[in-house]
Amino acid sequence: MARYFDVHPENPQRRVIGQVAEIVRDGGLIVYPTDSCFALGCRLGDGTGLERIRAIRDLDERHHFTLVCRDFAQLGQFVRMDNAAFRSIRAATPGSYTFILPASKEAPRRLLHPKRKTVGVRIPDHVVAQALLAELGEPLLSSTLLLPDEEEPLTQGWEIKERLDHVVDAVVDSGDCGVEPTTVVDFSGEEPEFVRRGAGDPARFE
């Protein structure tokens, strides 16, 4: 049965954030808010958590999971980027973007696209997500909470708790955070390529 945490959207209770972080450190799978929509998250390198996310979302091995990072310095530990990508991505973060980039040696192998050796990374512009990342001190392995055969992500914390009560360990609710996923930009080729147009303004990369 999942624990439910009601978190203030502007001033997250430190004690509550600490409890959520401890669940993640103990191998728990959580649902948490971001600046685009709710996401599933577990500890970096947690193979069991990864498989639990795959099962909930019915994902295959080609799906790009995302490393949700606190800041640009943390993001830069897990990916490689040239100067042009560095400037573009730094100017767009934090924000509602996910970037696909060649993985560095620090990125867990199980996260990488099996053929391209790339990984998705992002820095959310969301107070609660940032508080949790700061408490953890490491990225969250994450994926948008979009259930199989549904067109839009779930937006209400109580409904998420009701529907996923026996498959996640905690639901962090700080209010509605929207239904539009991030804009995904692939920087692994010679030119940036849009994989998905979403909440982040694509104009800066066109």
pLDDT digits (tens, 9 = 90+) for 26-76: 999 999 999 999 999 999 989 899 999 999 999 987 787 899 999 999 999
CATH of domain 3-205: 3.90.870.10
pLDDT at 102: 94
In this prediction the pTM is 0.94
CA distance 32 to 96: 15
- pLDDT of residue 114 exceeding 80: no
Average pLDDT of the chain is 93
Q: What is the pLDDT of residue 59?
A: 92
